[in-house]
Structure formats: structure tokens, C-alpha cells
Structure 1
Amino acid sequence: MSEAPQGDQDPRPAGEATEDGLESVTSHEDLVKLLAEQFARADVSLRELQTRADRAGGTRLPRSTCADMLAGRRFPKKAVMVAFLRGCRVPDHQLPAWERAWERVRVNQLPAGSLEIAAQVMTAPDNPGTARAAGRRRRRAALLTAVAVLTAAVILSVIIVQRATPQRGASEGAPDHIVNPAHIVSDDGRAFPRGGWSRFTVTVNPANTGVRLTRRLDAGVGLQRATITVDGSPAAEWRPLLEDGIYKWRDQIVTIPPNLTTGRRSLTIVNTCVSASGFNEFLYTVEHEVDGVWSTADTVDIGRDHTASEAAHDYRVVGEDWAGTQTFAYPPRKEAWSVQ
């Protein structure tokens, strides 16, 4: 699904990260969290961020780089982070605090002792004009060179460059690294942009005291968000998830309020996309709770290869902009497959 360009207009002002919050950042995880918050507040697509950076000139901001940075897979260069923040419309007067936070994280990533060696060499006493002083200067230069090489090695070990793939209705490409074959799944599905919607009807036990809806999605397209109605009543929301360009399959779970399900034999569910990144769907599993026990009530398999399942559930999609089959991997740990 295409990430719709949002034009030249500024989004609403991004929520400001407090200086106290930035000054408390000491780890890569802390920095990623604040960057993700800025991105969410900016309500802008990765494509638009790339366009803004290209328009401004200077540091480029590829979508794959932003995705890796927001997922914590890649520690950004300072210039890339600043370009990202400017693309999110963070005011210039806040940028120095972000740069200080970046520097603290970068220093904390250096091997223990490397900074101490550099400091000792730089502060060693010197007597200009003597052969001994010249020897010290040569040793100082050699040690500083060694520290620089060690630092470069650390940076290279932290920055893992992922192959960039263009995004359409769903992200493209199979995993290009070693994964457990048991975690790789091929499935077909559909996608639609903001304003589009899908509808289907499922059966449940009228004696249910709760219903859960699980959707398989391609998380290679990040920040998908959609509202859910049940028989015309607002019920829940598919909350946005950060993009994962490596392990792209996720099973997202929402709980439908019991007052919308108890006593009913069928439920008509409508998902309406409200995010710029669009919305994709491959498989829906419906669970109901009866007498305190959860079990599968119904399954809706989406896609051109499962038109029988779509027809049986009166499936309909409006605004479809992608349909096809994807082969992706779930995360290595099975407990990470499902998200709320």
C-alpha cells in the first residue's frame, strides 16, 4: 500500500521532549524511545520525511535508515538524527539537547578504558625542543591513532546496514539473513490506504462473555492504524506498531467489549484505515470465551487464493491498493509473535 505523500504543509506542532527528559538519556534504548515518540507526534510518513530532507538539501534520510533507527536496529549518525528531527518539525532551539543526548549514548558505547587512555596521553607533561618530548609526541600520535581505529571498529559493529527495499501495499522481499525455517510463513492478503475499509461477518457462541480478534499483518509497513466497529458500534482500534524490516509477520490482538458480543451469533466487523501508511490484512482469527474457557470461534483467510473463505464471511474491501502473497519470518522468540 502506498504511503500517501502528505504535501508541503506542516503537521500539527510536534510534542516537545522536555530538556530534563533528554538530559536523562544514557542508553541507545532511551534515545530510540524519544525518537519514536517524536515520530508518532509528528504524524508523518517515512516517505514524507525522506522528501522533506531531500528538499532541504544536506543529509539524506532514506526510509530504510529511518525504519532501522526507529526500530533500534541502527544507531544513527548525529547528522541523520538531526535531519530526522527537523523533518518531524522539532524546533531548532531543542536540537542542542538532542545532540548532547546522542553524544552521551555514543560515549557510553565506547569500550571501557579507551577514553581514559586518550585523556592520559593528551595530558602528559611535555618539554618542547627536547628529543624526549619529540618521542612523547610520536607516542601520543600513535596512541591517538589506535584509539581512533578502535572507535571506528565499535561504530562499524553498532551500525548494521539493512538492504533497502521499496514499500508498496505491503513491504517487499523475503528475509535476507539466517532465520529459523519454522518461523517463515507464506500467506496472501490485501491492503488499502487511509479512508479505505474492509468488512466481514463471523460467527460466535451467543453464550460468550468476551471475544478476541487476531489479525496477521505485515509489520514491514509501520504505524498502521484503523478503527473497528462491530455491527455499526465503535468497538476498538488497531493501534500503530513500529516498523520491523527484518521479522515482518506479527499477530495483533484486540479485545471486543462483551456488551457488543454477548447474546449474538454473528458479528459484522468493519476495519477503517486512519493512518497515512495504510493498512494490510492476511488472516483473522476470532476467539470467544464460553464458561471461562477461550477457544477459536471462526477464521477468515484474506487474499486472492482464499476467495472461498472471503465469500463465506461476506468479505468486502473498499479502496484496495495492493493484493498479493508475501513470504516473511516471525521473530525468533515465539512470545514476540503476538502483540496487543
Structure 2
Amino acid sequence: MSEAPQCDQDPRPSGEATEGGLESVTCHEELVKLLAEQFARADVSLRELETRADRAGGTRLPRSTCADMLAGRRFPKKAVMVAFLQGCRVPGHQLPEWERAWERVRVNQMPAGFSENRSVESSHDTPLAAQVMTAPGDPGTPRATGRRWRRAALLAAVAVPAAAVTLSVVIAQSATPQRGASAGAPDHVVNLAHIVSDDGRAFPRGGSSRFTVTVNPANTGVRLIRRLDAGVGLQHATITVNGAPAARWRPLLEDSIYKWRDQIVTIPPDLTAGRRSLTIVNTCVSSSGFNEFLYTVEHQVNGVWSTADTVDIGRGHPASEAAHDYRVVGEDWADTQTFAYPPRKEDWSVQ
């Protein structure tokens, strides 16, 4: 597991915060990308950022606000951005450059010929579509007249597709490191990755999980696919199917950059043929522990592989766990992780 930085230290080399062209930032997307880089470098969760801001006693940093800011869905108030950077331990002497970048972006967002009806700071973290401008010489009450076309003009001028921003950086939100699940992002930026948030569970050596899935009795083969956090290396577990030894989850080397993997295990056909349900038990035999987020069960029928069942693990999916009679013994971690799959899809799955 990676080690979280000390709260009174900046986890980056001196001067690194402005690397990447902060002084040339002029649009929302560029600012969002650099903010996400600081978040990844800080190796901290959104929950911890919120706690740090509360302890500082200044501008609050609700997790939802930070998440929307990092995804490009909302343009933040300057004070929110500064509090976010302070929570990421950006040195104070670098903050004025960030504020100047924020001001350039804010000015460039304003359509030509328009003036704000409120001060720049009043935007806070209001959705971009709801920030209303007032045209000079506009007849009648500004807030009552021309509201629809003003919003349309603003949307056309400043909306930034969240998907494009999300694909450009890894926003590594993680819980406090605990056994069985890794810490957050590494000390550098990951670009052009497939980002997924999912909740799961973990247990140590001697712990186990159990669930029941359905398959077609006419199957001639079954594959079990587990989404895991590969930031925890060398996870090893045995698999039984309906009480009989079936296979093993072989240990994988740790990947501290692209942490999501889909590991595939093939179940012997003699344990699955003619059966409508399979009760699967995973028992951890490694000192590193064992984590699980999602199971996909595929079966081969008439020579064609297809999905037979899925089991979504985690506190956020009680219906799925109940439907599959999911049970865990010795659980020592349960939370949500946000990581990236490798850039190439062929590297997502491993045997």
C-alpha cells in the first residue's frame, strides 16, 4: 500500500505545482485538468480534503462540490478553488498564480458585449447553465427579461463537456488506506485512462466470501471474472464450486498506476454442466489480503460465450448481494475506490 503524505508537507518537489503551463491557462478545461493533477499528486481522498478545510475554519469543501469541480461540471468560486489547493498542500507562494489563472478563465467565459449582473465572486460553484448575465441596455428588469436567450448564449459560450475532461486525467478518490485495499493515486498524473468508481469489500488471509449465481444447465464451460484493485499486489485465493475445489485466483503483481483489473478464472466443465446454480466460495491464502468489487459470470452455450449473471459487491449494492446470498467472513475493509483501467483495453483483463 502506498503511504499517505504527512499533513504538514507538500508531497511534490518544489516548483512542480505550476509545471504544465499554469501561466498559459485561459479556458475552463485547462484549469480543470491542472486542478485534477494537483489532486492526483496530493494522494488524498475527497473526504480528507473536506476534513482539512473544516479544520482550517475557512471555506468549506463539500465532497460533492469538489467532485463536480474536478469533473468540469461546475465552475468553482475562487475561494473554493484556493481552499481545494490548500487542502492539496500547494505552497502558499504558488496560489497567486492559480488565482490569476482563475481570473483569466472567468473573463474568457463571459460572452462579448455582456457584463455580469453580480460580482465575479458570486458565481461560487453554481452550475454553469444557471449563471445569468445581463446585456447592456437590456430593457426592463434584467432578471425577468430575456432570461431564456441569456442562458442559451451562456451555455453555448462556456459549457465544457465533462466526458472530455474526465478522459484527460485520473481523479483518484480513495478511502483511508486499510488492509486489503490500496491507497489513492500515485505521485504523478495518469492521462487518457478509463476511469471507474466502484465500491467493494476486502478480507485478510483466512477470510472468505460466498455467493450463488445462476447459469444455463446446458453450459459447456463457465468463466468467473473479478474486478479487483491491483494496487494491492499478490492477492491469492482458492475457489470452490458447490463445495468442490475448482480453481485459484493467482497472485498478480502490484500496479500502482492503473489499478483496476478484470481477472478471469475458468471453472472445470464437470463442475458446472447440468447445473442451474453455482455456489462459489473464495478463501484468501495470501498475507496481502483479497479484495472484490464486481463478479461477472460467463457461460458457454452452443459454442457461444455470453453473460450469465453478475454480482455487484459493496455496501452500495445491498440488493445484488441479497439476491446472490452474498456473505463475507473476516471483512476488514469496505468502501468506494475511483481508479483507472490501463490505456489499452486488451490489458484490462488478465488470467
Q: TM-score, normalised by structure 2?
A: 0.49
> Which amino acid letter does the alignment assign opposite residue 207 of structure 1?
A
| Contact residue 197 and residue 318 of structure 1 kept, 8 A | yes
User: After superposition, where does 1:1-340 map in structure 2 within 5 Å?
Assistant: 168-174=179-185, 177-180=188-191, 183-340=194-351
Q: Aligned partners of 2:335, 2:192: CA distance in 1, in Å? A: 21
Q: Aligned partners of 1:180, 1:296: CA distance in 2, in Å? A: 31
Q: Deviations over 1:157-179 (max 9, x none)?
A: xxxxxxxx955330111455443
| Contact residue 283 and residue 300 of structure 1 kept, 8 A | yes
Q: Aligned partners of 2:312, 2:198: CA distance in 1, in Å? A: 9
Q: Aligned partners of 2:330, 2:219: CA distance in 1, in Å? A: 33
Q: Aligned partners of 1:272, 1:194: CA distance in 2, in Å? A: 8
Between the two proteins, the alignment pairs up a number of residues equal to 178
Q: Deviations over 1:232-267 (max 9, x none)?
A: 000000000001111110000000000000000000
Once the two structures are TM-superposed, the CA of residue 333 in structure 1 deviates from its matched residue by 1.1
> Which amino acid letter does the alignment assign opposite residue 168 of structure 1?
R
For structure 1, which runs of at least 5 residues remain unmatched after alignment? Answer: 2-164
Q: Aligned partners of 2:300, 2:208: CA distance in 1, in Å? A: 27
Q: Aligned partners of 1:180, 1:245: CA distance in 2, in Å? A: 14
Q: Residue 242 of structure 1 aligns to a residue in which SS?
A: coil
Q: Deviations over 1:61-99 (max 9, x none)?
A: xxxxxxxxxxxxxxxxxxxxxxxxxxxxxxxxxxxxxxx
Q: Deviations over 1:264-321 (max 9, x none)?
A: 0000000000000000000000000000000000000000000110000000000000
Q: Aligned partners of 1:313, 1:243: CA distance in 2, in Å? A: 30
Closer, same or farther: CA 180–296 of 1 in aligned 2, 3 Å: farther
| Contact residue 174 and residue 327 of structure 1 kept, 8 A | no
Once the two structures are TM-superposed, the CA of residue 332 in structure 1 deviates from its matched residue by 1.2
Q: Aligned partners of 1:273, 1:201: CA distance in 2, in Å? A: 18
| Contact residue 236 and residue 250 of structure 2 kept, 8 A | yes
> Which amino acid letter does the alignment assign opposite residue 284 of structure 2?
C
* Number of the residue aligned with 1:25: none
Which has a greater percent of helix? 1
Q: Residue 228 of structure 1 aligns to a residue in which SS?
A: strand
| Contact residue 212 and residue 288 of structure 1 kept, 8 A | yes
Q: Aligned partners of 2:247, 2:300: CA distance in 1, in Å? A: 18
Q: Residue 316 of structure 2 aligns to a residue in which SS?
A: helix
Cα-Cα RMSD? 1.9
Closer, same or farther: CA 222–182 of 1 in aligned 2, 3 Å: closer
Which shifted more, 257-266 or 172-181?
172-181
Q: Aligned partners of 1:250, 1:168: CA distance in 2, in Å? A: 18
Q: Aligned partners of 2:298, 2:191: CA distance in 1, in Å? A: 28
| Contact residue 287 and residue 294 of structure 1 kept, 8 A | yes
Q: Residue 304 of structure 1 aligns to a residue in which SS?
A: coil
Closer, same or farther: CA 240–214 of 1 in aligned 2, 3 Å: same
Q: Aligned partners of 1:314, 1:228: CA distance in 2, in Å? A: 17
- Percentage identity across paired residues of the two chains: 89
Q: Residue 318 of structure 2 aligns to a residue in which SS?
A: helix
| Contact residue 179 and residue 332 of structure 1 kept, 8 A | no
> Which amino acid letter does the alignment assign opposite residue 264 of structure 1?
R
For structure 2, which runs of at least 5 residues remain unmatched after alignment? Answer: 2-175
| Contact residue 180 and residue 332 of structure 2 kept, 8 A | yes
Closer, same or farther: CA 248–188 of 1 in aligned 2, 3 Å: same
Q: Deviations over 1:83-129 (max 9, x none)?
A: xxxxxxxxxxxxxxxxxxxxxxxxxxxxxxxxxxxxxxxxxxxxxxx
Q: Residue 339 of structure 2 aligns to a residue in which SS?
A: strand
Q: Residue 245 of structure 1 aligns to a residue in which SS?
A: coil
> Which amino acid letter does the alignment assign opposite residue 216 of structure 2?
N
Closer, same or farther: CA 166–308 of 1 in aligned 2, 3 Å: closer
Q: TM-score, normalised by structure 1?
A: 0.50
Q: Deviations over 1:42-71 (max 9, x none)?
A: xxxxxxxxxxxxxxxxxxxxxxxxxxxxxx
